[in-house]
Amino acid sequence: MSLGFQRSKRQSNASSSSQSPPPGSAQRRGRSSGSLLNRLGHYLTGGSNSHHLAAEATATRPAKMLTRSDTGSLAFPSDSETGGMLPSSGSNPSRIFKLRQVINSDQVDMDELNKLLWSGCPFDSDFDVRVKAWELALGYLPPRKEQQRSALDRKRREYRVLTREFADVFTLSTEETLPASATASQQQQYACLRQIRVDIPRTFSELSIFTSERIQKMMERILYIWAARNPTPGYVQGINDILTPFVVILLQAKAGLPIKDVNVDDETLFSDGELMEVESDAYWLLSRVLSDIKDYYTPGQPGIQRLILRLKDIVKRVDEKLASHLEDEM
């Protein structure tokens, strides 16, 4: 029995290259994706859960704005660069208007978009504004307007190919044990599928959409396909929570309704084709986030260790007395 992971080395390398950016590309897109990734990174390393992530998809909470004087060389915009805009959970019509202007321009100014997104999308932004802003910030959509439609169509086609490639996997029952002849790789990936199926019903069950079989199957496909294409680190608990805000904002934009009013089982509201578009976009947005934090989950967690060292350096420069105290207590 094959769970879809027994592909040739050539196929695996091709998949890896399509998922991971080429050398140097992280630096090239840093200013376009860093702001949103930094905000998501706060949750990913802070032990937050899907409740906080889903809330971030529909609202922003007050938080202290860091400046370059606080953080040295880190790529955080200063108050002068952001126009003094602080995070706010209130309405901000002028910023919404400016955000819409930026994301709908013929050539999106990514620096300007980063400044506008530093404090998050205003909570009362139109659903389509939030989605497009995130898609641009994460590099899923190209900045040039005339290229966006074709890029979106191409990525959706690519994802449909992936769902067909792994289609037989999702018919398997994880209630049954594997045969004795199963290989170690098959056992490992079978365990991955089973863990995904355990985690999905736990994902923000307070929202009715996450109890829908259509959404649960969608999330299962997204998570399993990502794990299959990224065997290191593969699926780990918590990635389902990272997926949550993308599902929320995309469903809201597609329906034009607040998520609490979205009935995904109403096929007059969501056709299978429309849900597949949501699924595809959610997969690629998740992939863009995870591509930059995969080493948070690999053995030894080098990504987290690197962030700890950065934090240590910041604390030392901002408050040397506190840094010394923390060193003494370690």
Each residue of 8-19: pLDDT tens digit? 333 444 444 444
pLDDT for residue 73: 37
Each residue of 79-138: pLDDT tens digit? 344 343 334 435 688 999 999 999 999 999 999 999 999 988 888 899 999 999 999 999
Give residue for tokens 């009362």.
124
Each residue of 59-85: pLDDT tens digit? 433 333 333 333 333 343 443 443 433
Q: How far apart are the first and last CA of the chain?
A: 50
Dihedral sign computed on CA atoms, order 105, 131, 22, 161: negative
pLDDT for residue 91: 67
* 276: confidence class by pLDDT, cuts 50, 70, 90: very high
Return d(Cα 219, Cα 200) in angstroms, integer.
7
More confident residue, 70 or 251: 251
Least confident of 32-41, 119-128, 181-190, 283-292: 32-41
Query: For a pLDDT cut of 70, what percent of the chain falls above it?
Result: 72
Q: Answer whether residue 203 shows pLDDT above 80.
A: yes
More confident residue, 211 or 6: 211
Q: pTM of the entire structure? A: 0.71
Q: Answer whether residue 40 shows pLDDT above 60.
A: no
More confident residue, 17 or 233: 233
Query: For a pLDDT cut of 90, what percent of the chain falls above it?
Result: 51
At 303, the amino acid letter reads G
Least confident of 105-114, 184-193, 241-250: 184-193
- Spatial neighbors of 329 by CB under 8 A, at least 6 apart, are none
* Closest by Cα among 165, 153, 183 to 4: 165
More confident residue, 225 or 19: 225
Mean pLDDT of the chain: 78
pLDDT for residue 299: 78
Convert the chain into a string of H (helix), E (strand) and C (coil). Answer: CCCCCCCCHHHHHHHHHHHCCCCCHHHHHHHHHHHHHHHHHHHHHCCCCHHHHHHHHHCCCCCCCCCHHHHCCCCCCCHHHHCCCCCCCCCCHHHHHHHHHHHCCCECCHHHHHHHHCCCCCCCCCHHHHHHHHHHHCCCCCCEHHHHHHHHHHHHHHHHHHHHHCHHHHHCCCCCCCCCCCCHHHHHHHHHHHHHHHHHHHCCCCCHHHHCHHHHHHHHHHHHHHHHHCCCCCCCCCHHHHHHHHHHHHHHHHHCCCHHHCCCCCCCCCCHHHHHHHHHHHHHHHHHHHHCCHHHCCCCCHHHHHHHHHHHHHHHHHCHHHHHHHHHHC
pLDDT for residue 329: 87
